[in-house]
Structure formats: structure tokens, C-alpha cells
Structure 1
Amino acid sequence: MRNKKECCGCTACFHICPINCIVMKEDEEGFLYPNIDKAKCIHCNKCKEVCPNRNIENRNTRTQTFVGYYKDDEVRKQSSSGGIFSAIAEWILQQKGVVFGAAFDENFEVHHIAVETKEELIKLRGSKYVQSRLENTFLEAKEYLEKKRKVLFTGTACQIAGLKNYLSAEYENLYTVDVLCHGAPSPKIWRMYLDDKKEQYQASINKVEFRNKDDGWKNYFISIAFSNMERFYTHYYKDKFTRMFLDNLDLRPSCYSCVFKEIPRISDVTIGDSWGVENYMPDMDDDKGTSVILVHSSNGEKIFREIRKKLIVSEVGLDVAVSPTADSRKSVTMHPNRNKYLEGVKRGENFDVLYEYVKKSFLQRAVGYVQYFINNLRMK
């Protein structure tokens, strides 16, 4: 790998290699990168041709924008925003289809899995702010598609781009949904954070919720339930892992120069939080979670037609629902202490020490404010 900023970790190259000479290996931050056995490589260049960072084609040319939520309050409560993923997934399953998405394993690391029943959808609900390991899901999805089963594949925009490049063909029975993404934080930092919490509470972890809604959707809390019946529960911006994530300290290098956030997206539908809906459409805000729904393709329109009767939904302008300055529409700015933090990771510093790199000096804050002001002027 010449430059880590050029790799989003989508696994398309791993899956396409005809002689299996590519393996995905962790770097010092826990991100997976392709490693090529040069002794085996036949120089077919398929890995380069399939790479979405090198070859991204935005096949969609239009976007319709909606805000809404699922009428099923229980499902909506279990969801990060308005429950739109569940509405789509349930329709796919009703057609005897298969749904791929991110799930926690027994150690609360994040992997993509396939589910085929409505009962299993709970595994895929809720945000997981860690880059999901895709394993062999591209290959599995292709096998289901070849069997003429409907497939819903959900993930980040770069994962959807990788899947489509790997498939290199259009499938009418493939439906893709990406999420409005800030960036992908370090899996290693996530493991360190969990270990820190287990030591603090002297217990194993039973449940993790990145977006607990007990105190409302807009004011969401991080919740971790332990085997000794205790619970860690704090506002998201007081949580150390979330601060490192939202302050852009521990993101995958490619997230700082992301080429997948342009709208229209390559997916059929994009979903995410409808932040600010109380300002432009207050009747759609009951603080239980409202979603942005971006429909980009004919398959996206088909999905939306099928689920619309299950939703409370209204059409809205794109720039109203998702500001052009939002991090979900542009690359995030690297934290000024990112390099110092990375050196700390390499030195083996513990989680609390690494968290200290979140804090900025007065000069760093001043420069940030000026840059923010300049960027806002450019957008006007």
C-alpha cells in the first residue's frame, strides 16, 4: 500500500484476486489494508481496476430528498434515527431476500453479516461507530444475487462502491443503502476503550448502544450494560471514544480525503439523521428520531414506493435537509494532533493518554475558527 489515504478498506481487491494472493491485515490502528504476496502475484491488475478509490463511477444522476420516520414506535426506539433501515429491510425479507449489514460480535467488534429473518434484524439496527469488517460478504452477496434472490446491502458509501465495482454488473435484484457518514474511527481504539470500561466496572459487557434514546434522540447518550448489572451512561460529547471520533482524531486516513460523499451517491438510497429538522419542519420532530432519506435510482424509487405507506414522510430540499457544509457531504478536517496521536499509538500509550491528544492549544483553536469562517464564506 503506497498511501493509506488511497485505501478505504472495502475488500474489493481481496475478493477479485484470481489467485488469492491478497490478504487483509491490520495496521497499528486496527484498520485493515490489503497485503499482496508479490511472489504469487501474476500482475493481472484486477486489484487496481476494481479499487473504488481509483475508479469511482457515480452511476446515478438524480436525488429526491425526504425526511420521515417509521410508524412502528418500538422499532423506531431501537433505531438510531427514524427506523428507515428497518422498513426497507423488512420489505426485502418479505420477498424472501437477504439483508447484509453491520453487527456486533460477542466481543462487541463490528462485522458485516447476512440475516434472513425479521427477528434477526435487531442485530443490524443502531449505529456502530467503528469500521465494520466486511469478511466474505461481497462473495456471499454475489452468490445470493446469482440465485435470483433479492439482496439488500447496507454500509458506508465506500463499502457500497467497493461492492458495485467487485460485481462489475448491474443486478435488478440488488438494493443498496448507504449511511450519511462522518468517518470511520479506529477499531483498535474501540477495543482499548472497551477494555478500559471492563476494568473500570470489573465486569464483562452485555450490551452497547451508541445512540440510546432514553433521554431523547437529539440529546442521545452512550449506554454500556455490564454483567454485574451496572451501567455506564453518559452524554455523547462527554464520552472519550466519541470525542476522539467526532473531533477527527482517530479516523481512517482515507476519511480525510473521502471521494464517496458526493450527492447523488452510487447507492440506491442514502439514510441518516435529520439534524435540524425542528428548525425547518417542526411537525416532523417529536424527539424520537427523524431520518433523512435520499433516493438516487430507479431501484431506490421502487423501495421508497413499497415502504412509503409505513412511514410518516415529507419531501424537502436537499440543501435544507443536509447542509452543503455538513461532514456527511465533504471530507472531514484532520485533527491537528493526529500525527502526535499516531506516534502515541505506535509507542503503546494507553487509552487515557491517547485521549489527551483531543485537547487543542489556544493557537490550534484560533486557526480552526478562522478556517471554519473561510470555508463558510466559500460556500455562500
Structure 2
Amino acid sequence: MVNKKECCGCTACLHVCPAKCIVMQEDEEGFLYPIIDKEKCIQCHRCETVCPVRHTDNLNTKTETYVGYSRDEEIRKQSSSGGIFSVIAEWILQQRGVVFGAAFDENFEVHHIAIETKKELVKLRGSKYVQSRLENVYPEVKQYLEKKRKVLFTGTACQIAGLKKYLNKEYENLYTVDVLCHGVPSPKLWRMYLEEIKKRNNASIEKVEFRNKENGWKNYLVNIELSNMEKYCVHYFEDKYMRMFLENIDLRQSCYECHFKGLPRISDMTIGDSWGIEKYMPDMDDDKGTSVILVHSPNGASMFEVIRKKLVVREAILDEVLPPTADSRRSVEMHPNRKKYLEGVKRGESIDLLYGYLQKTFIQKVVSLMRCILIRINPKYKE
């Protein structure tokens, strides 16, 4: 078994292995890790050299910063933030390109899939706060690239780093966009959460929205529609699954020591929510969703120049719209009760019991508060 702190689950090692001796296997939290069949292993060490955590490559040297949103109100309404992904994806699809991104399956588990039509784009829109399974996606991306098709790959920064290591060469027809990432929560906890909602309502799930904007972009709702016409719809901070995610108790272990949140990134572009925009550019905030857009590469710059006419966009100062202390620029702090939570997961405890581990002791609260203050004063204290 690999050191869990050093594995982001990208699958690069799985696909590069010439002996086919690696499989991805779930741990007790539902995260996938590579397992090596030592009897089949030929000791070529390609799995080690392709690992993006062990060997981080980045040719990009600068980041240009913008904030903006789609001029198309319908796209923006259907998107978690400003609709930037949809604008980029439509441009790729118009050129007979292929778009890869995270989608729900029929059981509302999250996988990366490829789409080739605008009609399918709805599958990839919207945040999905579960680690997406990549499965055979990296070889599929390579096949399309070798056929000279334009490919847009969207995902977390670690997934893009894994793809780049697997491909092992630059492709002019590959465009990569990572999303600002807090960390990835447990797929097993997500399954448990959905099962409890189904049992409580005696109904199957028809639709899931992590970021419903009915109450506005800043006060978004978790919205789950059920087969009996009922809805589970609550403010995100009142939802137990979202609270456990945002308070860092159920993230993948590598997220607590993330190697991919620095800038500039290995991707061509980074997009995400421009939280706090009302403080820096109030005229860019109408509570419908405004995005941060970070351009890291020549490919990213050319892509941005093509799409910007479809955006309301403005140049911005990086450290204002995305401070160095933001969770998307530094690893998040592990919840002090994560060990207890993990023991509860192993015992098969319910969501309610696992949620109880978020409660901190007075001393834990004081320590966390002091650490947050120190990090805001000087980010080096994070180290």
C-alpha cells in the first residue's frame, strides 16, 4: 500500500504500468488507492516516475488574473459560479472537440466522462463535492489527442498533473482547466448520506444540486429532488455533508498536504468562485455568480482571448481576489477529531454520529483560532 499522504488517486501509475500489475482499490472511506501485485511487478519503476506527487513538473512561469462571468444569463443561472467553464466548453465543442469533466451517474456517484455535443454539457455543469473517479479517462484523452481532436480536460489540479505525467509530452490541441479546490471529500460518506436521505423519505433520488442559486450565489442551497415529488433543500451550512466537507474532517489524506495549490499551476487556466468580490469590485457582484479566472500558459492565454468577448470581465489583483490564505491556495488544516471520525467510519456509524465529531473541545477551539490568526498574519506559520 502506498503512503496515503502521497497519493492523490490520479491513476497515472495504473495506466503507465507495462505489466498491468496495478489495480485501484477502495479504502475504508471509499477513496481509491493503487495496489500492486508484487508477483507480476517487473521492477521497472515507471509507476514511481509518473507519480505527480513525487515528481511535480510545471513549465508555466506566470499567472494573469481576471474576474468575470458569462454574458449569457441562462448559462450563468445553471452554473455554480460565473459560467466560465460552459463558455470554454462550447468553444471546444464548436470545433468538433471533446470535453472531459465530472458527471453524476445513475446512482449519483461521480465519474469523469467525455462529451461531444452541446446538449450533453448539462452533465458537466455544477460543482460536485465528491472525488471523481477517473477510471480509463487518461488513455481516452490520449486517443483523441492522437487523432488531432481538440480536447478540454477539466478537473482538480492533481488530476491535471497526473494527466500531464501520463501523456509525457506537450500537445497543442490539449487545453486544461482546473477548478479552485478546497479538497475532496469521502465517496463512501457521500453514498451513506444519499442512502439516509432515501430511507428517510422512502423515495429514490432524481436530482442533486450542490449549489442551487435560488437564494443567491453567496447563500447557495443544497437541493435534492426525490421521486415522491418531495425536496430536501437547505442552506449549505445547515447540511451535514457540506459541513463535514467544509470543516475538513472527511477529506482525502493527500489534501491536507496538497502539492498542487501553488501558483502558477500546471494547467492552462484555473477557474473558481470569486468570494469576497463585493469588497474589491462591488460593481462586478450581483449575487448571480462571479468567477476568478487565472491564466497560466500561452495555450490558456489564447483560449481566454477567444472566449473573453462572451464574458463580462475585468483584470484583477491576484492577492485581493484570491488571498494567499485562501483554502484554494494552501492546504487546509485537518480537523482535530479526524481520527475519531475515521474510527467511526470503520464501525459503520451513521451520518448523525459522524457529524457529531465536528464538535471541538474548548481547547481545540482556542488552538484553531490562534492558528488561523497566525496564518493570516504570516502564511509561513502554516508550515
TM-score computed with the length of structure 1 as normaliser: 0.99
Aligned residue number for residue 82 of structure 1: 82
Please give the residue correspondences for 1:218-237 in structure 2 after superposition, counting only pairs within 5 Å: 218-237=218-237
Q: CA deviation at 1:379?
A: 3.8
Q: CA deviation at 1:351?
A: 1.6
Q: CA deviation at 1:301?
A: 0.5
The secondary structure found in structure 1 opposite 2:293 is strand
Q: Which amino acid aligns with 2:94?
A: Q
Distance 1:61 1:68 in 2: 23
Query: Per-residue CA shift, 1:181-205, capped at 9, x if unaligned?
Result: 0000000000000001111111000
Distance 1:309 1:177 in 2: 19
Q: Which amino acid aligns with 2:301?
A: E
Query: Per-residue CA shift, 1:112-167, capped at 9, x if unaligned?
Result: 00000001000000000000000100000000000000000000000000000000
Q: CA deviation at 1:19?
A: 1.7
More divergent stretch after superposition (345-354 vs 246-255)? 345-354
Q: CA deviation at 1:14?
A: 0.5
Distance 1:182 1:366 in 2: 23
Distance 2:58 2:359 in 1: 38
Unaligned runs of 5+ in 1: none
Q: CA deviation at 1:346?
A: 1.1
Aligned residue number for residue 184 of structure 1: 184
* Alpha carbons 2:204, 2:227 under 8 Å: kept: yes
* Alpha carbons 2:2, 2:33 under 8 Å: kept: no
Q: Which amino acid aligns with 1:86?
A: S
Aligned residue number for residue 260 of structure 2: 260
Distance 2:93 2:302 in 1: 15
The secondary structure found in structure 1 opposite 2:368 is helix
Q: Which amino acid aligns with 1:148?
A: K
Alignment root-mean-square deviation, CA = 0.8
Distance 1:311 1:374 in 2: 38
Aligned residue number for residue 245 of structure 2: 245
Aligned residue number for residue 345 of structure 1: 345
Aligned residue number for residue 364 of structure 2: 364
Matched, 1:123 2:130: no
Matched, 1:311 2:311: yes
Distance 1:319 1:378 in 2: 14
Q: CA deviation at 1:294?
A: 0.1
Aligned residue number for residue 103 of structure 1: 103
Q: CA deviation at 1:2?
A: 3.6
Distance 2:255 2:275 in 1: 21
More divergent stretch after superposition (250-259 vs 354-363)? 354-363
Aligned residue number for residue 56 of structure 2: 56
Query: Per-residue CA shift, 1:200-231, capped at 9, x if unaligned?
Result: 11100000000000010011010000000100
Aligned residue number for residue 214 of structure 2: 214
Following superposition, which runs of at least 4 residues in structure 1 exceed 6 angstroms of deviation?
A: none
* Alpha carbons 2:2, 2:34 under 8 Å: kept: no
* Alpha carbons 2:97, 2:149 under 8 Å: kept: yes
Aligned residue number for residue 38 of structure 1: 38
The secondary structure found in structure 2 opposite 1:259 is coil
Q: Which amino acid aligns with 2:130?
A: V
Matched, 1:283 2:277: no
The secondary structure found in structure 1 opposite 2:23 is strand
TM-score computed with the length of structure 2 as normaliser: 0.98
Distance 2:262 2:237 in 1: 27
Q: CA deviation at 1:350?
A: 1.6
Aligned residue number for residue 299 of structure 1: 299
Q: CA deviation at 1:347?
A: 1.4
Aligned residue number for residue 25 of structure 2: 25
Q: Which amino acid aligns with 2:235?
A: H
The secondary structure found in structure 1 opposite 2:378 is helix
The secondary structure found in structure 2 opposite 1:371 is helix
The secondary structure found in structure 2 opposite 1:331 is coil
Aligned residue number for residue 274 of structure 1: 274
Distance 1:368 1:77 in 2: 36
The secondary structure found in structure 2 opposite 1:262 is coil
